[in-house]
Amino acid sequence: MTVRQLFDARDAVPFRPFGIHLSDGRSLIVRHPEMLSISSRNRTAIVYGSDNSWEVIDVDLVTSVRIPALAVTV
């Protein structure tokens, strides 16, 4: 997992909410691009929750980023 993948998911156009999965089994949801901040040295990130909570994570502990598929309309 690279920090570039976090930047790509956060900066995607159009933005889609995505999940960040951590090595301890937890998952965090990024519902809006402004809900993820990455430090200038790319070592830590802050994920803000919709309830005004926030969590600092070590980017090295991110195991995957899950971006759901776009809905297909016919």
What is the rounded average pLDDT for all residues in the chain?
93
Question: How confident is the model over 33-58, as a mean pLDDT?
Answer: 96
Share of the chain above pLDDT 70, in %: 99
Kindly list the strands in the beta sheet with 27-30, ordered across the sheet, starting from the edge strand earlier in the chain.
Answer: 27-30, 18-22, 62-66
Q: In the chain, how long is the greatest CA-to-CA distance?
A: 44
pLDDT range class, residue 73, cuts 50, 70, 90: confident
pTM for the model? 0.88
Statement: residue 74 has pLDDT above 80: no
pLDDT at 70: 77
Rounded CA separation 51/58 (Å): 21
Q: Phi, psi at residue 55, to the nearest 5°? A: -140, 135
